[in-house]
Chain A
Amino acid sequence: MRRNQVAVVGAAETTELGVIPNMSQIRLHADAALNAIADAGLKLSDIDGFATAVETPQQMCHYLGITPTWVDGTSVGGCSFMLHVRHAAAAIEAGLCKTVLITHAESGKSMIGKLPRSIPADSLQGQFEAPFGVYGPPSMFPIPVLRYMKTYGITHEQLAMVAVVQREWAAKNPRAMMKDPITVDDVLNSRMIAYPFRLLQCCLVTDGGGALILTSADRAKDFPRKPVYVLGTGESVETPMVSQMETFTSSRAFKVAGPLAFKEAGITHADVDHLMIYDAFAHLPLFGLGDLGFMPHEETGPFIAAGHTRPGGKLPLNTNGGGLSYMHSGMYGMYALQESVRQMRGIAPAQVPNAKISVCHGVGGMFAASGTIIFTNER
């Protein structure tokens, strides 16, 4: 895909984030969509392309009153929205549509109108994982961690520092769910969830949503907000079964998606001013830093522990506080994209001064899928 041909011209989260017991899941989608439409200065009738995950495009287009000529229902977990951005950029370039709306919302905490997630007993997961006591993401996503730690010499304290540093960023974000400072001891003394991970190394469970609007870069200059250009993109999938990953010392999906995006963007790691790595659990930023090629995996834990990703550090990472402290409705990728867009617009609560390039890396399922989007505010 060509660089900087498509731009984000509308971006917004739901009016509220956190616990929203008075809104169903589809209404949260609509709330985010209407906020993004207002942000872009558009009407819903201007939208001719639509993408969403979990909820179907037909559900949301009907609810919103949109008649699209292009839809994408790619639903590969929390990074689905990174894939939607990539697909939307290709569709706009190909002339299939002009103005794409991407929505995410989840009543993750209040469970109002939330679609059930179940594993059929005759699926491969139902036969070869579920009988051994996996029960939700906390029992599955951290399964590779001990192997990763042993292979690379990563310590429990370094993995605790991920949560500590992200809380420092969250403290600068008024909309973050958890803002009180925490220490490594707080993390290592918090309630055990699934050894080696404790409560403060697991993502929040909240309600909320977000929406993005994309159009061609040529049209983008006529919109009220500063355009945020799509500089590079990548995607891949590996397996829905965490036990069947090629290795626990790396994510194959990360290693495909990340470098694809860097190659397409034509940038090096030294060009990156701001980085988001989807952090459903504390090990994901380490996998991301290694697999995206920022440093060898051995150096990821020490890098974070040394403070290089904290406010004022040389590689600002997860500047909204991440899934660990900002919010996590279940499919966090949309909130990572929102923060990258805010940083590129220069309006983030914890703004990185003069940031020009933002890398936004997502995971879906338990290392099942991955999407990487690289944004820039310069064309």
Chain B
Amino acid sequence: MAEPMRARPKPTPETQHFWDGTKAGELRLQRCDACAHVYFPPRPFCPSCASRKVSIFKASGRGTLYSYVINHRPAAPGFTPPYAIAVVALEEGPRMMSNITGCPQTPEALELDMPLEVTFEPLDEQITLPVFRPAKG
């Protein structure tokens, strides 16, 4: 369980499916039915072609480490420095901010382009955060 002081996301009608997904152990993305563009963060239309016909699907949860900082100071409430703030390139195309777990928070351990896989960290009863760990095998 993450520390309680951590900034807590508050879902909106357009993002509820994402947070329902993480609670159910799924990373959910959206794909445009018209042009097949996969995008993030959630919205009820395609930012590439403006179609309102879009579908929610379960992403593979696989990605690679695109970039990061290791934050020392000031630390966000609920975080013990140093901790990495990472941007993960998902297999399906979009990128998302996250944290890297199960690995030292050092430049030596955090190699750009290393394969990652999603895991889920409950923040409280309602909210579960998607975080990433080094991919097994």
Contact = CB atoms under 8 A, between A and B. Distances in A.
Interface in A169-202: 191-197
B114 interface: no
Given A129-B97, A132-B99, A133-B76, A146 B67 contact: yes
A121 interface: yes
Contact of B68 (A120, A121, A146, A241): A146
A145 B67 contact: yes
Given A128-B41, A147-B112, A195 B85 contact: no
- Dominant secondary structure at the B interface: loop
A122 B70 contact: no
Interface residues of B, number: 40
Nearest to A151: B112
Contacts of A244: 40-41, 95
Nearest to A147: B67
A347 interface: no
Contacts of A195: 69-72, 82, 107
A127 B41 contact: yes
Indicate the size class of the contact surface on chain A.
35 or more
Interface string B84-113: 011100000001111100000001000010
Interface stretch (A1-9, A134-142, A317-325): A134-142
A133 B67 contact: no
A284 to B, nearest CB: 15
B7 A248 contact: no
Contacts of B96: 128, 243
Contacts of B97: 128-129, 132, 134, 241, 243
A293 interface: no
A197 B68 CA distance: 11
A146 B87 CA distance: 11
Interface in B1-45: 6-12, 15, 19, 40-41
A243 B63 CA distance: 15
Given A124-B41, A195-B107, A131 B69 contact: no
B94 to A, nearest CB: 8
A248 B71 contact: no
Contacts of A194: 69-72, 85
Contacts of B135: none
B41 A143 contact: no
B136 interface: no
A144 interface: yes
Interface of B: 6-12, 15, 19, 40-41, 66-79, 82-83, 85-87, 95-99, 107, 112, 123, 129, 131
Given A135-B71, A139-B76, 8 more contacts: A127-B19, A130-B7, A133-B85, A142-B69, A194-B70, A241-B97, A244-B40, A248-B87
Interface of A: 119-122, 124, 126-136, 138-140, 142-147, 150, 191-197, 241, 243-244, 248
15 contacts: A122-B12, A124-B41, A127-B10, A128-B9, A128-B40, A133-B6, A135-B71, A135-B74, A135-B76, A135-B79, A192-B70, A192-B73, A193-B73, A195-B69, A195-B107
